[in-house]
Amino acid sequence: MQRLPTSTDAVHGGETRPSAHHAVAPPIVQTATFAFESTSDLRRFMAGEDADPDRTEYARNGNPTVRAVERRVAALDGAEDALLFASGMAAITTSVLALVKAGDHVILFRDAYRKTRAFVAKTLARFGVEHTLVEPGDLGALQAAFRPRTRLVVTECPTNPYLRCIDLSELARLCRAARAKSLVDATFATPMNAAPLAWGVDLVAHSATKYLAGHNDVLGGTVSGSASLISLVRELRAEMGPVADPHQAALIGRGMKTLALRVARQNETALAVARALEGHAEVERVHYPLLESHPDHAIAKAQLRGGGGVVSFVVRGGREAAARAVDRFRLATIAASLGGTETLVEPHALLSYADLDEEALSQAGIAPGLVRLSVGVEETSDVVSDVLQALAC
């Protein structure tokens, strides 16, 4: 069973006392390099004997403002350790690269985040790493896809945009049996709604740009897991350099203080929107994991504390009807991304998938009338009214 974090964890998780300079808000330590008192201090540090395990000699290897956020992320994910990166993609690509080599095989689900899929299918392929795509939610297909050289399975929880949920404990069991590692991108769930590590998964990643930072004002990414796996990823991060800077870390850490409050409101509002849309005359289909009509409803109920802040729905009449509805939103802003304080609406075929024609869209499983709504922290009734007035024609 998973133990999910609380609002207290979101505020205080992983903190050390007394704080540096007795500051209540973590100081922004703006420095590229760190000083030594003497060569004996330097020798002690190099021998790994410094009293502070987080001390570093250079900011690409670590920074106190960044480290404070990493400790809190580890506490929220229930992990031994965590790392913060310049973006979600930096976290995912560095973690994947740390685990695979030429000749290895990676499995991912067809509805993976587009850039994650592109990284595995195009970039890793150039370095001799093979991959297999399996259908969303299909554990049988996953089992059949394992090969002797399968090193890694990557999935999201829930997935984008149809919010598919897979049985993570079963996925972790299949991976262990095949001696492959599992990496779950839990951006949509956030640490408040799911704890993939508790189900036996090896690594959990978040795009901190979304719910963790939560204010649509900064990029960031995290990965959490065992101390040994995280130290592998940390080494590669120091080689490649996709580190978060201290101001970025301070914004993310500040945003995380209210993570529990925001996600609780977003869970409530998204469920209210999903219920209001189900059966609506202008809506062909609503995708939300906590609706009974969702194909993974049972898994979602068992695995998630809340359904998250994203609702996807298909407007009757296709691409143009969806565009007209999106233009009528007054509160929600037309923008990519999710997880922030502002409600955002995205006509999928015109934004994230704008490069695809009708046939490619259909192959990607994206309905032309698909709209993805990321609810913010406005009043639930205001968000529901906005959606309903946008659909009233």
Ligand X SMILES: *Cc1c(COP(=O)(O)O)cnc(C)c1O
Question: In this complex, which beta carbon is closest to ligand X, that of residue 153 or of residue 178?
Answer: 153
Identify residues 112-171 at the interface with ligand X (CB under 6 A). 113, 156, 160
Question: C-beta of 91: minimal distance to ligand X in Å?
Answer: 8
Question: C-beta of 284: minimal distance to ligand X in Å?
Answer: 24
Question: In this complex, which beta carbon is closest to ligand X, that of residue 56 or of residue 94?
Answer: 94
119: Cβ contacts below 8 Å, ≥ 6 apart: 89, 92, 93, 96
Residue least distant from ligand X (Cβ) = 88
Binding pattern to ligand X, positions 166-205, x when CB under 6 A? -------------------x-xx-----------------
The residue written with tokens 């923008």 in the block is 335
Distance between CA atoms of residues 244 and 207, nearest Å? 12
Tokens, residue 101 = 């080599």
Question: In this complex, which beta carbon is closest to ligand X, that of residue 240 or of residue 384?
Answer: 240
Helix (H, G, I), strand (E, B) or coil at 70: helix
Stretch that binds ligand X, among 22-30, 84-92, 143-151, 347-355 (CB under 6 A): 84-92
Pick from 94, 207, 222, 343: which binds ligand X (CB under 6 A)?
A: 207
Pick from 209, 267, 312, 352: which binds ligand X (CB under 6 A)?
A: 209
Question: C-beta of 222: minimal distance to ligand X in Å?
Answer: 10
Distance between CA atoms of residues 326 and 330, nearest Å? 9
Which neighbouring-strand residues pair with 207?
221
Which neighbouring-strand residues pair with 85?
221, 243
Which helix (H) or strand (E) segment holds residue 311: the answer is strand 310-315
Question: C-beta of 185: minimal distance to ligand X in Å?
Answer: 5
Question: C-beta of 207: minimal distance to ligand X in Å?
Answer: 3
Stretch that binds ligand X, among 123-131, 207-215, 262-270, 372-380 (CB under 6 A): 207-215
Pick from 56, 87, 266, 303: which binds ligand X (CB under 6 A)?
A: 87
Question: In this complex, which beta carbon is closest to ligand X, that of residue 223 or of residue 321?
Answer: 223
Q: Does 88 bind ligand X (CB under 6 A)?
A: yes
Distance between CA atoms of residues 176 and 158, nearest Å? 21
Question: In this complex, which beta carbon is closest to ligand X, that of residue 151 or of residue 210?
Answer: 210
Question: In this complex, which beta carbon is closest to ligand X, that of residue 20 or of residue 336?
Answer: 336
Q: Does 255 bind ligand X (CB under 6 A)?
A: no
Helix (H, G, I), strand (E, B) or coil at 296: coil
Question: In this complex, which beta carbon is closest to ligand X, that of residue 165 or of residue 283?
Answer: 165
Q: DSSP for 103-131, please give it.
A: T-EEEEETTS-HHHHHIIIIIIHHTT-EE
Is the separation of the CB atoms in 72 and 206 below 8 Å?
A: no
Question: C-beta of 372: minimal distance to ligand X in Å?
Answer: 11
Instruction: Note the maximum CA span of the chain.
Output: 76
Where helices occur in the chain by DSSP H, the ranges are 7-12, 39-46, 64-77, 88-99, 114-118, 125-126, 139-145, 168-177, 190-193, 227-240, 246-256, 259-277, 297-303, 318-328, 358-363, 380-391
Is the separation of the CB atoms in 183 and 192 below 8 Å?
A: no
Question: C-beta of 221: minimal distance to ligand X in Å?
Answer: 5
Task: Examine residue 18 and say whether the peptide bond preceding it is cis (omega within 30 degrees of 0).
Answer: yes
Question: C-beta of 159: minimal distance to ligand X in Å?
Answer: 8
Question: In this complex, which beta carbon is closest to ligand X, that of residue 63 or of residue 87?
Answer: 87
Q: Does 219 bind ligand X (CB under 6 A)?
A: yes
Task: Provide the binding-site residues for ligand X, judged by CB under 6 A.
Answer: 87-89, 113, 156, 160, 185, 187-188, 207, 209-210, 219, 221
